[in-house]
């Protein structure tokens, strides 16, 4: 089959790119995914937070342009600007002041809250002796990640973009006249999920379908790694599990509030009448792991919340899951043309920021593809060339992960 363009990966990034390219008139476009609606998608397993505040300017710009779109579509995509509250303990004052200074220097709408103001706005937080202050971002909030993805997809479909379920890309090649893809189909949900859990097993076999395209964009997050290995010796991305727990608090409804980032760096927010919480475990090993450790809730989540609020002392875990972040060495995304290729592009590994940076990233990719340059946001810094030896000064270390 011959087509104008193929996007590999139909998660939030791939769907956003399809949306923006179709807006720009590219309608002969195909989006390929082994499991369009499957439960292992990083978009489906996202915590749903959206914020403007990041250390690196490019990450702030991608978020700003994305949130600007979300604000226009609030009711359609379930975007609630209930705010982000960052708590800083005694001894963390410098880190908090540095963060606040960063928000002010970039004209971000954040404010500093004293301990008394924290207790006034969040009366359920009654254990505050260890706190110094908080930073609050009223224009940040929570979003229905799946709702946003479906919005991007539906808009793209209305303009003629085709989404292909249960399609697995085995290899991608750059040729003088375009790109070539080797593809196969899987016949069941089980087979699709087996591929997502162990992509190297299926990709080691040849595909049965051969497609040709004017361009291909790899946008499959952590699953890009196996496709990149034949093109780049070291793709520099790793799948890292992030665990999330959904639980109920006895006689407490958190619905009126937004995201809270505790001093322990446990984050929590209301979710469908319950509460969702997560935490980065620094010793997490790379791998396609979607389970939750048996002791994750009792060892990490519950103790931190118990120390913060009397309302969070009696908790009943309901369910939990693991989702994948695709990590780069500096924990910022990769966006640009694949080195040495003329028709292959990549846009992935935003390390948990995929939802909140999705539209900004799609805008950059569409400009690079159609105009050969970035205009709205200068995203040249996201090229993987920054990882070459001697380019250490171009790295984009991003530390504001939760």
Token couple for 273: 């009448």
C-beta of residue 192 within 8 angstroms of C-beta of residue 38: yes
How far, CA to CA in Å, does 280 sit from each of 59, 225, 285?
19, 22, 12
pLDDT band at 15 (very low <50, low <70, confident <90, very high): very high
Phi-psi region of 389 (alpha: psi -120 to 50; beta: other; left: phi over 0): beta
d(CA 316, CA 250): 8
Average pLDDT over residues 28-51: 90
- pLDDT on residue 150: 97
Average pLDDT over residues 348-377: 96
- pLDDT on residue 145: 95
- pLDDT on residue 41: 87
- pLDDT on residue 178: 97
pLDDT in tens, 212-223: 999 999 999 999
Q: Name the more confident of 391 and 335.
A: 335
- pLDDT on residue 143: 96
- pLDDT on residue 108: 87
List beta partners, residue 271: 274
Lowest mean pLDDT among 35-44, 144-153, 216-225, 392-401: 35-44
pLDDT at 202 over 70: no
pLDDT at 199 over 90: no
pLDDT at 250 over 70: yes
pLDDT in tens, 296-348: 999 999 999 999 999 999 999 999 999 999 999 999 999 999 999 999 999 99
% of residues, the chain, pLDDT over 90: 84
pLDDT at 201 over 80: no
d(CA 183, CA 196): 15
pLDDT band at 106 (very low <50, low <70, confident <90, very high): confident
pLDDT band at 203 (very low <50, low <70, confident <90, very high): low
Lowest mean pLDDT among 111-120, 138-147, 195-204: 195-204
């Amino acid at each position: 089959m011959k087509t104008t363009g193929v996007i590999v990966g139909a998660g939030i990034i791939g769907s956003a790119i399809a949306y923006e390219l179709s807006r720009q008139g590219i309608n002969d476009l195909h989006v390929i995914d082994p499991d369009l609606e499957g439960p292992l998608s990083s978009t489906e397993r996202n915590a749903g937070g959206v914020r403007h505040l990041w250390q690196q300017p490019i990450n702030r710009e991608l978020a700003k342009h994305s949130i600007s779109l979300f604000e226009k579509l609030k009711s359609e995509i379930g975007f609630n600007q209930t705010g982000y509250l960052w708590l800083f303990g005694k001894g963390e004052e410098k880190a908090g002041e540095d963060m606040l200074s960063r928000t002010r220097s970039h004209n971000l709408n954040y404010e500093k809250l004293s301990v008394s103001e924290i207790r006034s706005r969040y009366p359920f937080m009654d254990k505050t002796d260890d706190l110094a202050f908080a930073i609050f971002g009223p224009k940040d909030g929570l979003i229905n990640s799946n709702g946003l993805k479906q919005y991007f997809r539906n808009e793209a479909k209305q303009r003629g973009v085709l989404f292909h379920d249960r399609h697995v890309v085995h290899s991608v090649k750059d040729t003088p006249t375009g790109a070539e893809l080797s593809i196969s189909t899987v016949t069941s949900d089980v087979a699709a999920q087996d591929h997502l859990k162990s992509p190297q097993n299926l990709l080691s076999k040849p595909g049965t379908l051969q497609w040709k395209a004017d361009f291909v964009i790899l946008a499959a997050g952590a699953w890009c790694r196996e496709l990149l290995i034949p093109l780049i010796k070291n793709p520099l991305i790793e799948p890292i599990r992030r665990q999330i727990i959904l639980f109920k608090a006895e006689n407490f409804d958190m619905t009126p509030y937004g995201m809270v980032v505790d001093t322990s760096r446990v984050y929590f927010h209301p979710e469908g009448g319950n509460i969702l919480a997560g935490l980065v475990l620094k010793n997490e090993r790379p791998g396609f792991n979607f389970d939750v450790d048996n002791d994750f809730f009792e060892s990490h989540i519950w103790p931190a919340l118990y120390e913060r609020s009397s309302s969070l002392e009696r908790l009943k875990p309901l369910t939990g899951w693991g989702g994948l972040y695709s990590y780069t060495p500096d924990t910022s995304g990769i966006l640009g043309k694949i080195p040495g290729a003329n028709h292959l592009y990549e846009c992935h590994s935003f390390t948990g920021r995929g939802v909140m940076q999705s539209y900004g990233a799609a805008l950059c990719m569409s400009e690079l593809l159609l105009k050969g340059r970035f205009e709205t946001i200068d995203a040249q810094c996201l090229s993987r060339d920054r990882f070459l030896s001697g380019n250490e000064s171009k790295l984009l270390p991003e530390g504001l992960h939760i």
